[in-house]
Structure 1
Amino acid sequence: MIHLSNITKQQGNKILYRNGSFQINTGEKIGLVGPNGAGKTTIFRIITGEEGIDGGTVSKSDRTVIGYFSQNIEEMKGRSALEEVKSAVGNIGDMAARMQEYEAKLCDPDLDPDEMTKILEVYGELQADFERLGGYDLESRAAEILTGLGIGPEDYHRPTESFSGGWKMRIALSKILVLNPEVLLMDEPTNHLDVESIIWLEEWLSNFKGAILMTSHDREFMNRIVSKIVEIANKTITVYGGNYDFYEKERDIRKEQLIAAAKRQDDMLAKEEEFIARFAARASHAAQVQSRVKKLEKIDRIEIPDEEADIKFVWPVPPRGGEEVVRFEGLSKVWKSDDKEKLVFRGANALVKRLDRIAVVGVNGAGKSTLLKIIAGDAEATEGKIALGASINVGYFSQNSLDVLDPKMTIIDEVHSRMPTAGLGTVRSLLGAFKFSGDDADKKISILSGGEKSRVVLATILAQPVNLLILDEPTNHLDIKSREVLLDAIKEFPGTVMIVSHDRHFLRAVTTRVFEVDKNQLRIYEGDYDYYTHKKHQEANS
């Protein structure tokens, strides 16, 4: 369907890939992986024709319908959410209006027979195109997709300009899905989605008949959908058959095989070079020496790709808090604005115990972040009591935490200012654990991506001697490698954790209890994340 053959792409002085090849076949679901800056988004732009290549060929039919969801969404205004989604399917609205005009004319009893024949011919062609584009069920499909992505009937007719950036991303994603293309290109489709929307999208994509090429920082999402991985790394494109977990294992096996092959080659080269050095001055061995010199010149040297060194994060020893970390009784929260009141939750009772790992779950807007804010002291409850236990020191991460970074400072200066008694070696070691090694630690905050800023803030929080971590969407903007660093750190954390995250792999790995905020109530599940999902499934089917 789409073939990229021996492509070479250069940006400035940097070669992204050289002589790379892969293909997208009909109905294939492919994950595109690789470190930031390797050129994944460029692959999408090459396929859509937005960027050219410096070598090789890209083969695809001009008739192939390609849908591309990127993180750069176009401006939306002047339409409702539902109309905006429907607008993705060609000029379907104009076609419907023209069909109505023709239908009205055909009902005219005084219409000339020749004119009627012409209108019927044009109407038939228009109707066939309308049907091919899914015009007859377009509105129901658009509504179904919007609802699946969390925008319900009460918001279908809201103007798009009234939605926040994260919700506009959902509208943009809906537009691509309703298009129902033959090839779907998706750059981080789960960003800004809650777990419920991610699960709905998983099912939709699993049933999608077309081909998919996508990037995602959500490994469980990737595992459930793709059956092939295309890796872009070290200026090469490598294809693996299987999902993300298979790719990780196979990549490590291939790396070990490459290291073994490189060692064998090094041993062989050492023997050849020793022979050349020993007999270079002897006329009797001149022919043999020359033969071996030429042989060595023709050998392709095996290169072992550079790999980031894994730096283990060592927790500072926090004070040992009491067995009761947080207790709240009859907790209620009502947000007030413009003389309007919105109930978030009421009558919440819970006890958080030492070393608990609590996942706080619920649909977007249910009140998860509000509950964490109240516990962290960033918001006040409307009713009820809340008390932290003895000697409890809180470390709190929220999306607003990124705003406290000083854009004029470097990463190392910013972190050092938060832990002034630590030596530079300690600070650099901490930053190394969060993937800021060498010159990266001297970058200015102002030029960092959202994911890099998140890692800086997390590093400053985790470096403090806290014994209660409150983390609100800490995995947002983090790539899979960074999520694993954070996951390993939390597994080793010698204190209590409360976390909101839409990364199910992350929650499954750390959770011991689940607090669900649902329909203005707090429900507690005394088990891990798998236990919670099992119980929810039972409840749904009972």
Structure 2
Amino acid sequence: MSTIQITHLTFAYPGQANLFTNQNLNFDSSWKLGLTGRNGRGKTTLLNLIRGKLTGQGTITVPLTPLYFPQPVKDAAQEAWVVATEASTGELWEIQRELSLMHTDDDLLYRPYESLSGGEQTKVLLAATFASHTGFPLLDEPTNHLDIRGRDQIAGYLKHVSQGFIVISHDRHFLDAATDHTLTIEKQQLVLTQGNYSAYAHAKQLKDQSEYAEQAKLRHDIDRLKQTAANKRQWSQSREGDKYGNPHQKGSGAVYDTGFIGARSARVMQKAKNLEHRMDKAVTDKESLLKNVEFIDSLTMNYQLDHHETLLWVRNVQLSYGDHPLLSKPVSFELNRGDRLALIGPNGSGKSSLIAAILGQFKGDITGEIQLTETASRSLVRQHYPDNLGTLNAFAEKRQLSYQDLLNNLKKLGMPRTAFKTPIQQLSAGQQKKVELAASLATPTSLYLWDEPLNYLDIFNQEQLTKLIQSVQPTMLVTEHDRDFIEAISTKVVTL
């Protein structure tokens, strides 16, 4: 058991604002630490600072050897055991042991690494990471490419490993199952919480509510000060004007002392200025208020009701390539107006292929019947989108989308304005995914077909989508491995 220490850490990429400013943190290397925060806040950067791949101001003391996942693969054509041993400080038998603890057959080690599914590759590299018990694993989004069963397997495995680790993930259920402490990169600081992600989220909610209440009180005080200052200023100005009126005006009932009035109005004016200074100081004193409250703007979607009751029929459909069926059995379902139907199942069960078949894009053989209402317009979120190219303006024009609607949702999804002029193909993977999603939201449609929309999205983006779908209640067919999202938005579930 040892302590990892971060002292006075400050870091920024050249030409950019600080990601971390004078941060101090100590945590035990035996902790199973979930690392969360909005995309772009520096989660992977922090892992690279801990492992010494980046250098900032301050010091980071790590008494154990950092072990980063996913490791680079030099030659994916090699058998998986070769890739695993090259990526590990442990022996082959130790890698086999870890795969066994993941309830995964080690036969996959003797297949070419490139032939493995994404989930199988993830398990091989994780086994390589944990094969040696002398290092400190840094796991960067191991839930990518894992289906629900695979995520459960890895979460159970991580819960019982003897080593501590840091893991980045946007799957709340996975974090709750696998971690016992949570480190969150908020707007201004690193926040360490004892407990899993749900414990952090509850503590964060209580803190935000307290800060909102304090903010409301501050606004009330400021409004009162402003009104008092305005009243004083108005009185002072009216008294100043009295000096130049007619002191013998009929009905005035007073003899004017202009010197007295001027001095008194000056004093009142000074009081008004003092009140303004007090108001400014009150604002300054509260500058840090709400600094870590995440303001998440609501997304919009251009959903348009179709007059048909049923938009999609799938009856006894089987997909195959030659003599090799893709589905374990023929599938049947209906998608009615207002349904949000979730297709779930392990990787390789045929979810994406079924969506392709619905769209008339499946290259294999189809038996059974698929009927999609011709008048029902459709909007897609795909797993791969190599045709999203060029500037956002040209992309919107080509897709006949509202450029302003596209930009508004991208901004709400957290894409910086500086990226708006960058060609789509030069954006990060996460930003490209947001373009695909924002384009779907901006498309006038009566039917959404979304294939794993949460890939690359942080928890806050996931909550945005959840609230939007719950509010609009569009007709939708969606595949996803995040069970919390599926439970929150679906009205029907079909398991493949």
State the TM-score, normalized to the length of structure 2.
Answer: 0.77
| Unpaired segments ≥5 residues, structure 1 | 94-136, 283-288, 518-542
Q: Distance in 1 between matches of 2:32 and 2:404?
A: 45
Q: Distance in 2 between matches of 1:353 and 1:199?
A: 29
- Please point out which of 482, 498, 501 is paired with 2:477: 498
Partner of 1:466: 445
Mapped contact 2:340–2:489 kept (Cα < 8 A): yes
Q: Distance in 2 between matches of 1:250 and 1:372?
A: 40
Letter of the structure 2 residue corresponding to residue 250 of structure 1: A
Mapped contact 1:66–1:183 kept (Cα < 8 A): yes
Letter of the structure 1 residue corresponding to residue 55 of structure 2: G
- Please point out which of 376, 384, 403 is paired with 2:386: 403
Letter of the structure 1 residue corresponding to residue 346 of structure 2: V
Partner of 2:487: 508
Partner of 2:31: 28
Q: Deviations over 1:11-43 (max 9, x none)?
A: 324322122122221431222222333222222
Q: Distance in 1 between matches of 2:359 and 2:144?
A: 25
1:232 aligns with 2:185: yes
Q: Distance in 1 between matches of 2:465 and 2:489?
A: 11
Letter of the structure 2 residue corresponding to residue 141 of structure 1: R
Q: Deviations over 1:234-268 (max 9, x none)?
A: 34222223322332342344345456667888969
- Please point out which of 318, 323, 327 is paired with 1:345: 327
Partner of 2:83: 84
Partner of 1:393: 377
Residue 317 of structure 1: CA displacement? 4.6
Residue 203 of structure 1: CA displacement? 0.3
Partner of 1:60: 62
Q: Distance in 1 between matches of 2:443 and 2:129?
A: 44
Q: Deviations over 1:207-260 (max 9, x none)?
A: 112212121111111122223222223342222233223323423443454566
Q: Distance in 1 between matches of 2:56 and 2:328?
A: 58
Q: Distance in 1 between matches of 2:213 and 2:287?
A: 10
Mapped contact 1:319–1:465 kept (Cα < 8 A): no
Letter of the structure 1 residue corresponding to residue 69 of structure 2: F
Residue 405 of structure 1: CA displacement? 1.0
1:419 aligns with 2:400: yes
3-state DSSP of counterpart to 1:15: coil
- Say if 1:182 and 1:437 are closer, same or farther in 2 by CA, change over 3 A: closer
Residue 307 of structure 1: CA displacement? 6.5
Residue 197 of structure 1: CA displacement? 0.8
- Please point out which of 298, 318, 326 is paired with 1:312: 298
- Please point out which of 71, 94, 98 is paired with 1:138: 94
Higher mean displacement: 472-481 or 373-382? 373-382
Letter of the structure 1 residue corresponding to residue 288 of structure 2: E
1:302 aligns with 2:294: no
- Say if 1:20 and 1:511 are closer, same or farther in 2 by CA, change over 3 A: same
Partner of 1:322: 308
Mapped contact 1:369–1:472 kept (Cα < 8 A): yes
Mapped contact 2:182–2:195 kept (Cα < 8 A): yes
Mapped contact 1:66–1:181 kept (Cα < 8 A): no
RMSD: 3.8
Percent same amino acid among aligned pairs?
24
Mapped contact 2:68–2:137 kept (Cα < 8 A): yes
Q: Distance in 2 between matches of 1:506 and 1:360?
A: 13
- Please point out which of 150, 156, 160 is paired with 1:197: 150
Residue 321 of structure 1: CA displacement? 4.0
Mapped contact 1:428–1:437 kept (Cα < 8 A): no
- Say if 1:166 and 1:89 are closer, same or farther in 2 by CA, change over 3 A: closer
Higher mean displacement: 470-479 or 22-31? 22-31
Partner of 2:466: 487
Letter of the structure 1 residue corresponding to residue 487 of structure 2: R
